[in-house]
Structure 1
Amino acid sequence: MTSPQADTRLFMTMPELVPELGPVRLAGAAFAAEGLGPEVLTGNRTQRAAARGELAERLSEISPPGPGIQDPDARAQDDFFGVRRTLSQEPAAVGLAFLIAHLDVLDDAEQSGSCLPEAEWSALFAGAVVLFGEGDTSLGPTPAPGRTSGDRTAALRRWRCGHRLFFVVTQGIVSALSGMARAVSEGDQRTACSALLAAAALSRSAAAALRFTADFPTEAYADTVRPSMMPPGVPPGFSGVQGPDHQVLVELYRRMRPVFAALDPETWPIRAFQDASAEMFAAHMGVCDRFGGREHPSILMEANGHHDARVTATHVLDGLVRSRLALLGTQ
């Protein structure tokens, strides 16, 4: 049976409009007071479905339709993964989309199984909690590890569902780092440290989201998932690096490079953020490796006429990862 949310588009704020962490947390606390916070992740499937319906309704109320992403490659990403962009600048929109994506992942894991250990699920739920305050980060049920379905339809659903989760977590990182940048400029170290720790927790959540996304048999990727990301279904050169939320995050890394470089690790939790970011990038590398990246070029490389067998998808991604880590002050 297909999950009722499998083909539902998720409203997401335009990446350049993501608000800072402070307002996002205040809005999240208000929804949590109504019983629409991270605790919705602890319910059974029926309870989660009811919560998702309420969250989706509330999100649609504050999500005026926008023109969508203008860049054609990034727009193709949104279309493929089931994302609908909104012009909403309401801080609540970030947290609501965050919880909806988490609920969809729980449903998918229950339906198709998951090999993720308890620690990975804990990382996912910790990321959800930090957007709603600074309380208990151990919240959340832990789906029992088990065999992941080899069904091709299930693999494609997981690929899409997991990516949507990664997108909303990425927006969370953007929100946290934007809040940190403002606090640093205002000399508010306490708030800046809190935001930096939130960015670290969210980066670990992003790593777990990527590992969940790839939690299905490799044969299903070759037979179903990869062909779905090639013409005629999508434009040539489909690639994760074209994701609009990822692009905004990388640009934020660039702008904040001098800030990161100036932080004293003795008084700032910069190492925690750097380590968590390295874990996120390593998880991306792991997805690439799992699905043949060490032996083959990426879809983008093939579309660009790449023919050098010595340069694989993993080789190119490794270079990108090194450049990202350099922006964070990590070598």
Structure 2
Amino acid sequence: MSQPTNFYLAVPELIPEHVKFLEISPIVLETTDHLLAFPLTLPDRTFHQTLQSLLDRLNTSHRGFSKADNVYKGTKGNEDNDQAFNIVRSTDNLSLLILSSALEAFNFIFKEAMQGGTTLDQTQWGRLIYALHALLKLFKSEQSHTHNPPLVSPPALENTQRDALQRWTKGHYVFMVFCQGLILAIKSFRNEVSANNTGSARYYLNIATSIMWGVESSFRFTGDYTYSEYEKSVRPTLTPPIAPEDMSGLHWRDHEQLVKQLINTKKIFNQLPSDLHDSRESFYEAMSASYDAHKFVCTQFVGDESPSLLMQSRNQVSAADTLTNFKKSRLNTVHTKSTMS
């Protein structure tokens, strides 16, 4: 059996307060230009081949990423989650690292989707690909983005064998990449609102909306297999001795930082000028749909009444109710009752 491959991610706490503070490497700009110029509606195999060739170029343009010093360690729970998913944190060349992580994660899911197919429809698959498109635009200086994902046919089925554990693992990689893109977009949005730059603020919030819809589709892809496959391949990895003792969905470091940024932006979200209200509504809708997708996948495997497998020894609140409560709390950072009109 081959050894699991490490997946390198940035330390989310080190993501800068604005895109303009992110040093963009020349090869990052070149790679981004290639992918952004690529028609999203071309056949999936052609898109994947282009992505693979660009990823190969990135991998040969540098000597690899190094593991971050101990000073950048997260909590014990953060470390346990990273260990379980073979995630290695790095502080090297942030723009190159974010781009490489994104392309690597999408390379993984394209391979799995082309081998086993997917139940995602044209809208959901289009949102997933368009979210990568939106994330890449963070590396560009242009200020135009509309959340208008195309309908994209998902990969054609090659066989009926789906690797549940691969989808579970690689789907989480995509989620972490999206969290980092959201952190950068929301921080940039917050700074542009504070500087009274309405046009730029709208741009970054629209980027965040597209990425958030990608989160919704990534959740669905992560659980895109049968209950029997979950029981056989995924469930055993979620409990000791395979899973570290502090592993929990509540300990994803990138998501923790995203929630922190949403809380830090709450006052700005709820005092936006009127010409940003439509963009806020779109982001709110995308976030709401993301929580619904997470709940859908969760109840598919643990039911409506049971706590999640990782939390059942800590509390008996059902996974569905926990996610509903999280949804209300997180949506409140974008809208409070006084602003929901």
Q: Does 1:51 align with 2:57?
A: no
The answer as to whether partners of 2:269 and 2:335 remain within 8 angstroms in 1 is yes
The equivalent of 1:280 in structure 2 is: 290
Q: 1:231 aligns with which of 215, 232, 240?
A: 240
Q: In percent, how many aligned pairs have the same letter?
A: 24
The answer as to whether partners of 1:203 and 1:276 remain within 8 angstroms in 2 is yes
Distance 1:141 1:93, change over 3 A: farther
Distance 1:192 1:11, change over 3 A: same
The equivalent of 1:12 in structure 2 is: 9
Q: Which string of whole-angstrom CA distances, capped at 9 and with x for unpartnered residues, describes residues 210-249 of structure 1?
A: 1110101111112321221110012235321210000000
Tell which deviates more after alignment, 246-255 or 82-91. Answer: 82-91
The answer as to whether partners of 1:24 and 1:92 remain within 8 angstroms in 2 is no
Which AA in structure 2 matches 1:31? T
User: Deviation at 1:23?
Assistant: 5.8
Which AA in structure 1 matches 2:232? D
The equivalent of 2:141 in structure 1 is: none
Structure 1 Cα separation of the partners of residues 135 and 222 of structure 2: 22
Structure 2 Cα separation of the partners of residues 181 and 103 of structure 1: 31
Matches within 5 A, 1:187-202: 187-202=196-211
Matches within 5 A, 1:104-183: 104-133=108-137, 134=144, 142-144=153-155, 149=160, 154-183=163-192
The answer as to whether partners of 1:200 and 1:273 remain within 8 angstroms in 2 is yes
Distance 1:40 1:295, change over 3 A: same
Distance 1:319 1:60, change over 3 A: farther
Distance 1:206 1:58, change over 3 A: farther
Q: What's the TM-score once normalised by structure 1's chain length?
A: 0.85
The answer as to whether partners of 2:119 and 2:224 remain within 8 angstroms in 1 is yes
Equivalent residue pairs, number: 320
Tell which deviates more after alignment, 244-253 or 93-102. Answer: 93-102
Query: How big is the alpha-carbon RMSD for the aligned residues of Structure 1 and Structure 2?
Result: 3.0
Give the unaligned 5+ runs of structure 2.
138-143
Matches within 5 A, 1:1-331: 7-19=4-16, 20-22=18-20, 28-33=28-33, 35=34, 39=38, 43=46, 48-58=51-61, 61=64, 63-67=65-69, 69-88=73-92, 90-133=94-137, 134=144, 142-144=153-155, 149=160, 154-236=163-245, 238-268=247-277, 269-304=279-314, 306=315, 308=316, 311-329=317-335
User: Deviation at 1:30?
Assistant: 3.5
